[in-house]
Structure 1
């Protein structure tokens, strides 16, 4: 079996206000047992699923670069026989805690792509987002990445804050485009349940965002002028598209390893324990993960949602509501190329899916 692999690193130096991911701070004492559990989990799943190869690897978090590179070596030693030569191997990283030695070590292990969590080039916006890095460490981080010889680099930006005027965004996009990158991800800020922004004064927080409409189309237009072309609602390519993310959007099988990681293989979704201590104990005992078999309706909804928000599109035969599809074609909201339907505007993907599910 060939699958995409996700490795979850839940440790961070600090927790950003908007973050609802399964990450934690002040748990350094769990790093060693966690990485050992992660490795054991990986070994168990390779054997249980009879994995033949991994189509891509993505290390996410959390903040992968807060883990000493030594703890990644046994994991990559295990992975090596399952990685064809052209395998895309990604890691996320934050600018403030990046070191040249860590980058060189990870490159030696096989890393060939890095996603840097810049989020903003402006101090007030970084402070609002509760990021701990300063804007002046961003170019320094890129200098280290270049010295390490990692050529495929993506940059993350967040928009939709009270500081995101057109003037600020224009400056940020101009600065981002000057960095040595071939990919950019621009995410609309959302106040998700489980984040500190959500848990703090919810009503007051939501009020801060009134009157700040989405700047998605503005960003798309400006990025195109710099040679970055949208291929998913939040992702822009300048000659490089993330193979790992494309495999998700194409609904290919993926394996999640780590606390709270999710897998989907043969239309069965499984969930690892989210709590770090519980996850470590579960791995020691080789306990089964919680499983969910996707219904035909679940599969269709996911296919529509992922296809219309990206360049993947949706095969005509996979759309049940052909009557409403005909209406969307007539209204020029979608287009048909071959046997596949594509959204004309990825930002409208949710409303297209709702219409086809009506």
Structure 2
């Protein structure tokens, strides 16, 4: 089984915290769509005829696409890949794009899972981030999506925002959990170099939330989610009724995936490949049959480190049996040695030859993952 990720690189305006590749030059969209379909055809053998069980439209802002353009992409993919009939097809969207008419149209095109970039439910924070929507539009978009028949809706929230209070964070979570939402992705704000937030932080015009406040907000997230019936199945991801993100779970489980579009990454279990992060260069290269990506062949150390990094984040954890089978007894023994101090401190649990992080371990997960890797 495999997945396909499609990067739609267009945004109507840039958010001040985001470092994903995007452009506001939407006039390039027609040529981009031609190039995207050409790349899909060129790379139809990358997944080696494995059945595609997930498709994910990310960005950027995929909801800048017309529903007819989205339908055309999906039709094209079905012509060149073996896509499972019940495949999970996720579509990232901005709340202000989701009119009832648009929701009905993308549902008809084949979208069966929505991922909405809510980020906050206080207008002052949305304005500070330069989001296009307000809190009312976010709530209305979720309600409208459910009303037209979407029953697998995920929302994104950000904690650790400058000035975000404990009460505001509780309020955002409580509102989301009262809505017809089945999945939550909640991330701590990262100040990425090249973003407006990073520049303002370095200049001192933006004040970073303290570590104590950030840790408290993570604790609130875990507690509030559990009380609302949301299972924490990955450090930043929570789901009701086991409606996990199948696409993201496939990343954590090391399945193959093909990335299409500027900046998209691909993985075939032996190598990684990434496309140029420049839409004009991407279009020109495909038009002229030139290279538009780079590739890295993974060493055994790379593959082990990736196995640790992806799996220990999840409720399914790291299998000692799999480590032994994939990388040998010496690597398994190294892993057990590195685990020793964390087991004694109750920061790691080993049960039935599976390594997982208990609640205490989640708060120092970066340290644990680094220590378990082979440098």
Superposition TM-score tier, normalisation by shorter sequence: over 0.9
Counterpart position of 2:309: 305
Q: Matched residue of 1:4: which SS?
A: strand
Q: Does 1:266 align with 2:300?
A: no
Q: Does 1:253 align with 2:252?
A: no
Q: 1:41 Cα shift?
A: 0.8
Counterpart position of 1:28: 26
Assess if the C-alpha contact under 8 Å between 2:57 and 2:92 holds in 1: yes
Assess if the C-alpha contact under 8 Å between 1:17 and 1:129 holds in 2: yes
Q: 1:74 Cα shift?
A: 2.2
Counterpart position of 1:115: 115
Counterpart position of 2:295: 291
Q: Matched residue of 2:85: which SS?
A: coil
Mapping 1:4-83, distance limit 5 Å = 4-25=3-24, 27-47=25-45, 49-80=47-78, 82-83=82-83
> Aligned Cα RMSD in Å?
1.9
Q: Does 1:348 align with 2:350?
A: no
Distance 2:171 2:136 in 1: 15
TM, length-normalised to structure 1:
0.94
The change in CA–CA distance for 1:207 and 1:169 in structure 2 (over 3 A counts) is: closer
Report Cα offsets for 1:275-295 as digits up to 9, x if no partner: 111001122234342110112
Assess if the C-alpha contact under 8 Å between 2:18 and 2:195 holds in 1: yes
Distance 2:194 2:352 in 1: 42
Q: Tell me which of 348, 353, 360 is aligned to 1:334.
A: 348
Distance 1:150 1:286 in 2: 40
Distance 2:164 2:136 in 1: 19
Counterpart position of 1:233: 235
Q: 1:336 Cα shift?
A: 1.9
Assess if the C-alpha contact under 8 Å between 1:254 and 1:265 holds in 2: yes
Assess if the C-alpha contact under 8 Å between 1:325 and 1:356 holds in 2: yes
Q: 1:248 Cα shift?
A: 0.4
Query: Structure 2 regions of 5+ residues with no counterpart?
Result: 324-331
TM, length-normalised to structure 2:
0.90
Which deviates more, 268-277 or 213-222?
A: 213-222
The change in CA–CA distance for 1:55 and 1:346 in structure 2 (over 3 A counts) is: farther
Q: 1:48 Cα shift?
A: 5.1
Which deviates more, 193-202 or 169-178?
A: 193-202
Distance 1:314 1:84 in 2: 28
Which deviates more, 199-208 or 28-37?
A: 199-208
Q: Does 1:124 align with 2:124?
A: yes
Assess if the C-alpha contact under 8 Å between 2:47 and 2:268 holds in 1: no
Query: Structure 1 regions of 5+ residues with no counterpart?
Result: none
Distance 1:93 1:7 in 2: 13
Distance 1:139 1:9 in 2: 24
Q: 1:245 Cα shift?
A: 0.6
Q: Does 1:281 align with 2:284?
A: yes
Q: Matched residue of 1:150: which SS?
A: coil
Paired residues, number: 356
Q: 1:206 Cα shift?
A: 6.2
Distance 1:174 1:351 in 2: 31
Q: 1:357 Cα shift?
A: 3.5
Q: 1:210 Cα shift?
A: 4.0
Report Cα offsets for 1:252-276 as digits up to 9, x if no partner: 1111101010001132001111111
Report Cα offsets for 1:231-254 as digits up to 9, x if no partner: 111111111111101000111111
Q: 1:158 Cα shift?
A: 0.7
The change in CA–CA distance for 1:139 and 1:321 in structure 2 (over 3 A counts) is: closer
Report Cα offsets for 1:44-64 as digits up to 9, x if no partner: 111455434212010011111
Which deviates more, 43-52 or 180-189?
A: 43-52
Which deviates more, 299-308 or 11-20?
A: 299-308
